[in-house]
Structure 1
Amino acid sequence: MKVKIMSTKSRNYFLDNYKALLIILVVIGHFIEPCYSNTPFLMILKWIIFSFHMPAFIFISGYFSKKTMTFEKLIQKLVIPYLVYEMLYYLLYVFVIHKDTGLYLNRPKFSLWYLMALFFWRIATPYIKKIPGSIFVSITAGLLIGFSQLGNFFSIPRTLFFYPFFLAGYYFQESWFETVRKKWKFLASSLACVLLLFFGGVFAGSIQLTPWIFYGRYSYEDMGMTPGIGMLVRLGCYGISFLLVFTLCAVIPKKKHFFSVLGLRTMPIYLFHGLIYSVLKATPLLKQINTPLETLALLLFCVLLSFALASELPNRFVTWISSIPVSLPKPPKNLGLPPVFTFGKRNQAQP
């Protein structure tokens, strides 16, 4: 079987570079969690990172999810890795940091919610895309889930909150990126207006907000907001996040750079940095960071850790886990299942 290798000229390094930036921000955003309230700089950095890093990551995931993947491949690429990494986190929590927890497969640990959400998004999108105005439907669902108290149960709140970004990426065409890059002044002006209105309204209403508003996990009640205020704040979050996702397109380089490899290997970085963070979080080290030198050292550590986790060994492990063969019994042909539920041959190549 011939393997098609993408040439340097045809590869979209713009998206690799965008993902490289995002994965570094994911690592930084987690590692500053215990200390972000210690200094104004870390507080501002926390707000900036969480206002767009996961929306942008999920938007790009949606963009790369256009091709149909068989149900067996979804199990192989998402469900099997989820189960394996859940077990790894469980063993780490229990035997290394001695955290009181259980193997709750319906409540993802740390960042593994993304794998669960991605599975549901890939399953649901063939149906959702047939609904007229599906983007607005998904935003409405993201607003309404803020009334629930589901917590981390099957990561439903975050799955619905972030789905509009996945769906937008799914619909997005490659040629539109250049259009967005050319419209950066308009997008930046719109972003400034939205930020002015958003924070002006917050200060006028004397509402106390935290970066939690961008997490998607917490209900309006959890964040101390009335349903009406909560929905308005969440709408503002959607506006800010979408504008930031597109405005940043103007500053992301389009050529290959030394950091482009991070965009190629986001999964090992995403999965393994949480294990290291969990160990350090169990110590007083991260909580005590409050000087400029300590802050600089932490940020440098996050960048170096990202490169270390993008090395060959972690990448091979992740690739091996997501390549475990899966063979499911074929359903009757008369069920009329959508393409996502087609069952390919064993070891069928990923589309």
Structure 2
Amino acid sequence: MSVASPVRPPSPGETARDPFFDNAKFLAIALVVSGHLIEDLRDVAVAHAAYFYVYVFHMPLFIVLSGYLSRNFTFSSGKARKLISTLAVPYVIFELAYSLPRLIMYGRLDVSLLDPYYLTWFLMSLFLWRLSTPVWQQLRWPLVVAVGLSLLSGTSALPDELSMNRTLGLLPFYVLGLMLRPEHFARLRRRAVRVAGAVTLAAGAVLALAVHTEVPTEWIRWRHANQAIGVDDLTGSLIRLAMLAAGALLVAAFLAAVPSRRTWYSGLGAATMYAYLLHGFVVKVAERFHGDWAETPWGVAAIAAAGAGLAAALCTPPVRRVTRWAVEPRMNWAFTRLRRPGQGA
């Protein structure tokens, strides 16, 4: 049986972007936006189950892809500048922007650049993970070390600064992404694997529907230590290990189901950071104004579908043009001129 690899060198005239990864990123951001929109409706059983199910793997999926696409990160001038302009500066901008609603509604301005608020934790964590990339590439068993750090992080009451709980707890997914190679994604293209992936996703949804009321949602948020969730460290470590395994399994299943051909949303998948950073403002407004109609299974389905539409809209060129200054600021003016090889000081 032939294997269609999603990672291949572009032929002359083709774009260098691989539609597989853009497809995966867009479908992932659609889950993120929909998940946040239904978060306030968790009194409805189906919404709580869907929220629990999606949160087991939607950010792990983003983190695995981020790790894979960060494999070539070094401390060279160009990479360091890109790290600053695509993560550090947007982090500061949106940390300030998300504090404004609190100022308007409650007359309180709380800004802490070391303690990420709301969605900005991912920028902080990704910044730290990417900085650590060269370290993981030098270790013989990087994934084992990362899992060990993740489990140990649950045994301590870590501070909120630098999003330490999530940064260390979700670290194995980033390291897993660093370890992946094109041939690993090629294996997901096999028909048997694709079928198994679809079955696994369906089985995961059924299982989530059965257990979502029994498992505290803090386990899928990675925000607190074991003691804060109410378990001892041995039990907590076993649960964390199970959550890591479940997340990795569902990430693999999801990627197996992602189409590798170019689709109508492939181009949108190249701009998922816009949807991620901007959708929070819509979510905060929606939480205050949804009516009783939303607190029904059909209402939850409608809002989830609206979330997918919102994700697509926020990735479109018009939105990107208007908000590029915040999401992808041009920072050339802030940097010294790059020296070319052989150029004197």
The counterpart of 1:230, out of the listed 219, 236, 244, is 236
The counterpart of 1:324, out of the listed 328, 331, 336, is 331
Contact 1:72 1:344 in 2 (8 A): no
- Residue 31 of structure 1 corresponds to 37
The counterpart of 1:123, out of the listed 124, 127, 131, is 131
Contact 2:25 2:62 in 1 (8 A): yes
Contact 1:46 1:211 in 2 (8 A): no
1:116-174 per-position Cα deviation (integer Å, ceiling 9, x unaligned): 11111111111232122111101111111112223532101111111111111112111
Cα distance in 2 for residues equivalent to 1:326 and 1:287: 50
Cα distance in 2 for residues equivalent to 1:189 and 1:268: 29
Structure 2's unaligned 5+ residue stretches are: 1-9, 341-345
Cα distance in 2 for residues equivalent to 1:30 and 1:345: 44
Shift of 1:6: 8.9
1:81-96 map, 5 Å? 81-95=90-104
User: Is 68-77 or 105-114 further displaced after alignment?
Assistant: 68-77
1:170-189 map, 5 Å? 170-182=178-190, 184=193
1:1-351 map, 5 Å? 7-8=13-14, 10-36=16-42, 38-68=43-73, 70-95=79-104, 97-98=105-106, 100-182=108-190, 184=193, 208-281=214-287, 283=288, 285=290, 289-321=294-326, 322=328, 323-325=330-332, 327=334, 344-345=338-339
Q: Identity, % of aligned pairs?
A: 28
Shift of 1:265: 1.2
Cα distance in 2 for residues equivalent to 1:99 and 1:305: 29
* Paired amino acid for 1:271: L
1:298-329 per-position Cα deviation (integer Å, ceiling 9, x unaligned): 12221221122112233124533432226467
Cα distance in 2 for residues equivalent to 1:99 and 1:306: 30
Other structure's SS at 1:68 match:
coil
- Residue 6 of structure 2 corresponds to none
Q: CA 1:214–1:41 in 2, change beyond 3 Å: closer, same or farther?
A: same
Q: CA 1:186–1:17 in 2, change beyond 3 Å: closer, same or farther?
A: closer
TM-score (norm 2): 0.82
1:228-280 per-position Cα deviation (integer Å, ceiling 9, x unaligned): 11100000011111111112222211111222233111011000001111223
Other structure's SS at 2:73 match:
coil
Shift of 1:68: 2.8
Shift of 1:60: 0.5
Other structure's SS at 1:27 match:
helix
Other structure's SS at 2:46 match:
helix
Cα distance in 1 for residues equivalent to 2:240 and 2:93: 34
* Paired amino acid for 1:146: G
Cα distance in 1 for residues equivalent to 2:117 and 2:139: 32
Shift of 1:80: 0.8
Cα distance in 2 for residues equivalent to 1:7 and 1:155: 43
1:13-54 per-position Cα deviation (integer Å, ceiling 9, x unaligned): 111111111000000111111112x22211221121011110
Cα distance in 1 for residues equivalent to 2:140 and 2:214: 37
Contact 2:22 2:270 in 1 (8 A): yes
Work out the number of aligned pairs and report it: 319
Contact 2:91 2:124 in 1 (8 A): yes
Structure 1's unaligned 5+ residue stretches are: 330-342, 347-351
1:201-238 per-position Cα deviation (integer Å, ceiling 9, x unaligned): x98xxx94223212111111221111111100000011
Cα distance in 2 for residues equivalent to 1:160 and 1:187: 30
Other structure's SS at 2:51 match:
helix
